[in-house]
Structure 1
Amino acid sequence: MPLEAYFTLALTAGVLITLITTRIGPDVILMGALAILVVTGILSPEQALVGFANPGVITIAVLYIVAAGLKETGAIQFLTGRLLGQPKTTRQAQARLVLPTSMLSAFMNNTAVVAMLIPAVQDWAQRNNIAASKLLLPLSYAAIMGGTLTLIGTSTNLVVDGLLQSERGVSLHLFELAWVGVPVLLVGALYLVLFGNRLLPNRQSAVEQLDQAREYSVEMKVTPGSPISGKTIQEAGLRNLQSSYLAEIERGGHTLSAVAPDTPLQDDDRLVFIGAPEGARELRRINGLKAANGDVQKLKIANHQRHLVEVVLGPDFPALGQTIKESGFRTHFKAVILSVSRRGSRVPGKLGEIRLDVGDTLLLEAGPSFVEQYRFRRDFLLVSVLNDSTPPDFRKAPIALALLGLLVLSAATGLLSILEAALLAAGGMLVTRCITASHARRSIDLSVLVVIAASFALGAAMRETGAAAGVAQLLLGTGNLSPWLALALVYITTVAFTETITNNAAAVLMFPIAMAVADQLGVNFMPFAIAIMFAASASFITPLGYQTNLMVLGPGGYRVSDYLKIGLPLSVLIAVTAIVLIPMVWTL
C-alpha cells in the first residue's frame, strides 16, 4: 500500500479511538478528520465534501421534518392508543407493543418513535400494573428491528443506499429490504415475547420511585418570625400533608428523627420532607416555610406554569463529571433538579454533591418553555413531560397520517423517488400547519447530518488511497475464504463498530472495505452492502451503541448488564438470520 493509504488508516484508527474514549462530539471529530484529509491533499475539497450533497443525507434531513409533524399532531399516540389495548399479562403486553412500534419505525426515524412512545408506554404499563422495565427495552429493540423493514426506516439504510447510488449506480426500492427485514423482525419479536419476561428486570424509573417508594425529598426552612415559628408540628399543619410527610428536623447541627406531633418548631429549623413530587408545591403554599437551598424559590416561574420533566443526560451534556452544585444547572437551564436516578435507583446523598454521568435520569421542575427550548438539543435526550400544558393538536393527526401514507405510496409505486416523496410530505406538513417552520428547522439534527456527511470523506479516502483494498486483503487472509464466510466477517466487524461508535459512521467506514472484499473475491457486491445495513442497525448489547438504547436506560431503571443479558442472544439470533438469508435474496 502507498504511504497515503497508511496515513488514512492511521487517521481512521485515531478517529475510532477518539470516538470511543473521549466525550468530544462525533461531528467535531469527523469534521476534523475531513479537514486533515483536505489539507494534506489526500482528497480534493470536492471529494471531501461530496457527502453533504448525497441524496441519502438530504433525505434524512427532510424526514426529520416529517417525523416532527407526526409528533406535533399526536399521530403516533392516535395510532398506539388504538393498538396497545388492555393486555392481561406481561407477555401479552410485550407482544402488543412490538408490532406497532416496528411498523411505525419502518416509516419514520426510530429515535423519534421511541421518544414519543416512552411516556405512552410508561402510562400504559402503570394502568395495567406492569413494570415499565419489562417493556421499554423491547420498545427500543422493536424500533431498531422495525427500521430494517424499509429503506427509510433508519438513517443507516439511506446512507448506504446513497453510497450505492454514487459509487455503483444502484438504487434500492422502498420495500426491497423487507425480504430479510421481516424474518429478522419475526425472529427478534418471538425471542422478546418468549424470553423477555424472564430476562428483563423488574425495576422502577425515577418517577415511579418518587411516586411509589416515596424516595423524593425536599428540604424546607422555618422563616424567622414566621407564623409557624414556636408552634408544634401539629399546630403548624405539617402533620397530615397530602403529598409528603415530615421525616426529620435538623436543628443546631443535630438531627431529630421520628419527630412527635407536639414537637415545637424554631426559627431556622431545617425540615426534611419525603413524598411525591407534588409535595414541593404543597409545601410552598405554607406561610412560614421557604426552600432551604433557595433553588426552587429562585426559579421565578408561577406554579401553574411549571412542569415536571424527566430527562436523560446524553454524552454531550456539558457538565458530565461535575456535581450539581458545580454545574450551575438552574442558572444554565432555568430548571431545578428534584431528584437523580442512576441505573434504576435514586442516588443517595446531598443533591448538590451528586456528580452527573451519562444516562442519569433527572426529574426537573421547569417552566413551559423548557421542553420547547431543549427538545432538540444534544444536552438531553428528552424522555417524558409530566403535566404538559401544550398537548398535541390531535385534529391534524389524520392529515399527518395521510401525508405519511402519500409518501409511502408514491415511493413504493415508483411514482417518485424517496427524496422527492419525502420533500412532498415535508412540504405538506408545513402547508397544512401540522408543524410550523420554526419547529421544522429545530427538528433537523444538524450534528447527525454533519457526522454522516463528514464520514463520507473518510470512506472516500479509504477507497482512493487503496487502504480499503489493503484491509480487505487482510480480512481475506490467505485468499481461501469463501464468499459466505467473508460476508459473515464483514457483518460481525460492522456490529463491533456500531456497538462502540455511531451506527452511521460504522456503515460509512465499512462500506469501502466491504466493496473491496467483494471485488477481490469477484462476487456480487450487493449482499455485502445489505449486510452492512443490517449489521449497523443491530445494536442490542450496550446502551451506548444506539441512541434509543440510551434513551430507555433511565426510565426503565436498567443496568449495563441487562443489555448484555438480553441483547447478546438477540444479536446472535439476528446475525444468523441475516447472514443466512441475505445471500439467498441477493446472490453472491
Structure 2
Amino acid sequence: MTFEQVSLLILLIAMLALFSLERFRIEIVAIAGLLAGYALGLYPANQVFAGFASPVVITVVEILLVVQVLARARILDRLAGLLGEARLSNTGVIAALSSATGLLSIFMNNIGAFSIGLPVALRVSAVMKIPKRQLVMPISFAALLGGIVSLIGTPANLLVSDAMAQATGTGFRLFEFAYVGAPLLIIGIAFVSWRAPRTFAETGNDAATPNPAARRVVGERHIPDHSPLIGVNLAEIPSRFGLQPHALIRNNAFVFGARDKSHVVAGDYLLAETDDTVLAELTASGALSPARHPAVPQVELTSIEAVVMPESTLVGSRLRSLEVFSSRGIVVAALSMRSPRIEGRFEDLQLSIGDILVLEGEHAAITEALEECECLPLASQPPSHGSGGAWQPFIIFACGVAATAFGLLQPDIAFAAVVLALALLNYLNIRQAMADLNWPIIIMLAAMIPIGSAVASTGTAEVIATGLRAVIPIANPVAGVGLLLFLAMAITPFVNNATVAIVLSPIAIEFASIAHHSPAAYLLAVAAGASLDFLTPFGHHNNTLAMGVGSYRFRDFLKIGGPLALGSYFLTLVLVYVFWL
C-alpha cells in the first residue's frame, strides 16, 4: 500500500470514530478531515472546496428550502381530523400515519417528512387515546423507508447517483430506486403497523400511566392562598395529588429535611414531576398557580408545545438562559425531558434533543421565537401568510419533480427553478430560509465529497476490494452486493448516511469492476443500506427525536428495529437480484 492509501484509511477511520462519538460538532470534524486530506496530499488545492459546488450539495440545499415552505402549510392536519372521525383500529391508524409520512419522504428529506408527520401523530394520540409510543417510532421508520424510493428522498441516493454518473456517464433516474424502495416501504409499514401495538400495548409499557396519551412533565408552580396542598407534607403529595415532588422552595431557599416533616405553606414554590394532564387540572382548579415572568402579558395568552430538534440552538442550554423566550415575554411553563435529572430549580434544567417545552405567551411571539431557535411546534398553528391553504407551492414543487422524472432538467436546475418561483410568489424568503438551514449537515456533506473521491483516485477502493476478495467471493454479484449492504447497514447507525454513501460508493464501483458487472446494483445496495437505520436511537436524527418525544428506551428500537432491519436486508437482496442483476 502507498503512503496516500494508508493515510487515507487512517483518516477515514479516525473521522468515522469522531463522528460516532459525537464529542465534537460534525462540521468541525468534517472540515478538519478535509484540510488534513489536503495536507496529506490526497487531493490538489483546487479540489478542497469542490464539494460546495457539487450538484448533490446544491440539490440538497434546494430541497431543504422547499421543505420549509411545504412544512408551514401543515399538509397533514386534515389527516388528523379524518383519523379522529374514522373508527380505525390502532393498527389502521399507525398504517395511515406511516403511509402519509412515507409518501412525503419520497419527495423531501427524511427529517422534513418526520417533522411534518410528528405533530399530527401527537394530536391523534391525544384525541384517540392511543399511546404515542405506538405512533412515533413507526412514522420515524416510515420516513427513513420512504427516502429510499426516489433520487431526492435522501442525500445518500443523490451521492450514489453522482458516483454512478462518474463511473458510467449516466446517473439514476428519479424513480429507479423505487424498484427496491417501494416494496421495502410497503412491507416495512405493514410490519411496524402490526408490531407497534403489540410491543407498546396499553397494558404493557403504559400500564402504570392512568392516561396513555399523557406525557410526564416537570414544572415549578406557586402555592396560592387556600390551596388544598397547604399543610400537606411532601411524602403525602404523590398519593393525594399525583405529583412527584423534587424540591420545595420558600423565600428563594430550599426546604430541607425529611419529606414527612416538610409541610407546604402558602407562598411556597413546588418543583414537581407529573402527567401534563394532572398539572393542567391542578392549575385550572387553583391548587397551583403559574410562576409567570413579569413581562408576560396577562391577556390573549396561548400555550404551545415545541420539541427541541437536533439542530436547535437550545441544545445544552439551561432554562434560565433562554433569552429567545424571555425577551418576548414567553414563559416555559413545563418541560418533558427524555431522562429527567432534577438538580436545583426549574430554571437550572438543561435541554437536550427531543425535550418538549410547554410555552405560554403571545401566539405571534412564540411562533417567531420557535423559528429563531429551530424548535418544532407540536400544536396546531395558523398557516403562515402567503401559504395557508394554498396549493400553489405543491403545484410548483410537482412541476420540478416532473421535470426531473422525465429527464427534462437535471435535479439541481429543476429545483433551482422551484426555489425561484416560490421566492417570486412570496412563499419563500430566501435570506431568512438560508439562515434556517441545517448548515452542519450541509458543510459535512460538502467536506466529505473530496475525501470520498480520494478513495477512488488514490486506489484505496481497489486495495480494499482486493483484500476482501481474498476472503469473500465478491466476484459473485450476490456475495458482493450482500457484503456492501451489510457494511452500509452496520456503519449507518454510527455515522451520517451521507458519509456512508460517500465512503462505500467507490468500493461498490470496484466490486462491480471485479465482477465485470454494471455498478448499478452495488450502488443501490449502498444507498438502501445507508437508509435502513432502525437499530439505534442515535444513528439518524429522526430516531433521536423519536426517542425523546416517544419516551423510548434503547432496547425498544431493537424490539421493532431488529426484525425490521433483518427482514429489510434479505428483502433488499432479493429485490436487487430480481431487478438489477
Tell me which interval the TM-score lies in, with the shorter structure as reference length: 0.7 to 0.9
Higher relative contact order (CA 8 A, sep 6+): 1
Counterpart in the other structure of 1:415: 408
**SS in structure 1 of the partner of residue 505 of structure 2:** helix
**Structure 1 residue 312 corresponds to structure 2 residue 305:** no
**SS in structure 2 of the partner of residue 308 of structure 1:** strand
Counterpart in the other structure of 2:395: 402
> Would the aligned equivalents of 2:534 and 2:564 in 1 still touch at CA under 8 Å?
yes
- Which of 486, 498, 502 in structure 2 is aligned with 1:492? 486
**SS in structure 2 of the partner of residue 141 of structure 1:** helix
**Structure 1 residue 63 corresponds to structure 2 residue 63:** yes
The 1:357–1:71 alpha-carbon spacing in structure 2 relative to 1, beyond 3 Å, is closer
> Would the aligned equivalents of 2:218 and 2:336 in 1 still touch at CA under 8 Å?
no
Counterpart in the other structure of 2:38: 38
Point out the more displaced range, 181-190 or 26-35.
181-190
Counterpart in the other structure of 2:535: 541
TM-aligned CA deviation for residue 59 of structure 1: 0.9
Distance 1:215 1:79 in 2: 27
Distance 1:108 1:503 in 2: 15
The 1:83–1:63 alpha-carbon spacing in structure 2 relative to 1, beyond 3 Å, is farther
- Which of 446, 455, 469 in structure 1 is aligned with 2:462? 469
The 1:256–1:483 alpha-carbon spacing in structure 2 relative to 1, beyond 3 Å, is closer
Residue-pair matches, total: 553
Q: Give the counterpart letter for 2:310 in structure 1.
A: G
Q: Give the counterpart letter for 1:565 in structure 2.
A: K
Distance 1:209 1:347 in 2: 23
Counterpart in the other structure of 2:236: none
TM-aligned CA deviation for residue 504 of structure 1: 0.6
Point out the more displaced range, 125-134 or 562-571.
125-134
> Would the aligned equivalents of 2:448 and 2:499 in 1 still touch at CA under 8 Å?
yes
Q: Give the counterpart letter for 1:447 in structure 2.
A: P
TM-aligned CA deviation for residue 411 of structure 1: 2.0
TM-aligned CA deviation for residue 297 of structure 1: 2.1
Distance 2:301 2:286 in 1: 15
The 1:533–1:233 alpha-carbon spacing in structure 2 relative to 1, beyond 3 Å, is closer
TM-aligned CA deviation for residue 6 of structure 1: 0.5
> Would the aligned equivalents of 1:118 and 1:383 in 2 still touch at CA under 8 Å?
no
- Which of 336, 342, 346 in structure 2 is aligned with 1:341? 336
Q: How does 1:185-224 map to 2 (within 5 A)?
A: 185-200=185-200, 202=202, 212=214, 217-220=219-222
> Would the aligned equivalents of 2:65 and 2:419 in 1 still touch at CA under 8 Å?
yes
- Which of 410, 419, 423 in structure 2 is aligned with 1:426? 419
Q: Give the counterpart letter for 1:161 in structure 2.
A: S
TM-aligned CA deviation for residue 64 of structure 1: 1.2
* Deviations 1:37-94 (CA, angstroms, capped at 9, x unpaired): 2233321122232221221211111111221121223334356656886242111112
* Deviations 1:1-46 (CA, angstroms, capped at 9, x unpaired): 1011111111111101111123311111111111112233321122
> Would the aligned equivalents of 2:11 and 2:33 in 1 still touch at CA under 8 Å?
yes
Q: How does 1:411-560 map to 2 (within 5 A)?
A: 411-478=404-471, 480-481=473-474, 482-560=476-554
The 1:332–1:125 alpha-carbon spacing in structure 2 relative to 1, beyond 3 Å, is closer
TM-score, structure 2 length as denominator? 0.83
TM-aligned CA deviation for residue 145 of structure 1: 0.9
Counterpart in the other structure of 1:573: 567
Structure 1 gap segments, 5+ residues each: 223-227, 237-243
**SS in structure 2 of the partner of residue 219 of structure 1:** strand
Q: Give the counterpart letter for 2:114 in structure 1.
A: V
Counterpart in the other structure of 1:330: 322
Q: How does 1:37-186 map to 2 (within 5 A)?
A: 37-77=37-77, 86-186=86-186
> Would the aligned equivalents of 2:488 and 2:504 in 1 still touch at CA under 8 Å?
yes
- Superposed CA RMSD in Å reads 3.8
Counterpart in the other structure of 1:239: none
The 1:473–1:358 alpha-carbon spacing in structure 2 relative to 1, beyond 3 Å, is farther
TM-aligned CA deviation for residue 388 of structure 1: 4.2
> Would the aligned equivalents of 2:387 and 2:427 in 1 still touch at CA under 8 Å?
no
Distance 1:518 1:155 in 2: 22
TM-aligned CA deviation for residue 218 of structure 1: 2.8
TM-aligned CA deviation for residue 135 of structure 1: 1.1
The 1:208–1:33 alpha-carbon spacing in structure 2 relative to 1, beyond 3 Å, is farther
Distance 2:380 2:294 in 1: 21
Counterpart in the other structure of 1:586: 580
TM-aligned CA deviation for residue 129 of structure 1: 2.2
TM-aligned CA deviation for residue 534 of structure 1: 0.6
TM-aligned CA deviation for residue 101 of structure 1: 1.7
Counterpart in the other structure of 2:22: 22
Identity of aligned residues (%): 23
Q: Give the counterpart letter for 1:129 in structure 2.
A: K
The 1:212–1:518 alpha-carbon spacing in structure 2 relative to 1, beyond 3 Å, is closer
Structure 2 gap segments, 5+ residues each: 231-239
Distance 1:472 1:299 in 2: 65
Distance 1:17 1:40 in 2: 19
> Would the aligned equivalents of 2:227 and 2:287 in 1 still touch at CA under 8 Å?
no
> Would the aligned equivalents of 2:400 and 2:415 in 1 still touch at CA under 8 Å?
yes
Distance 2:463 2:301 in 1: 61
* Deviations 1:120-154 (CA, angstroms, capped at 9, x unpaired): 11112222221121111111111111111111112
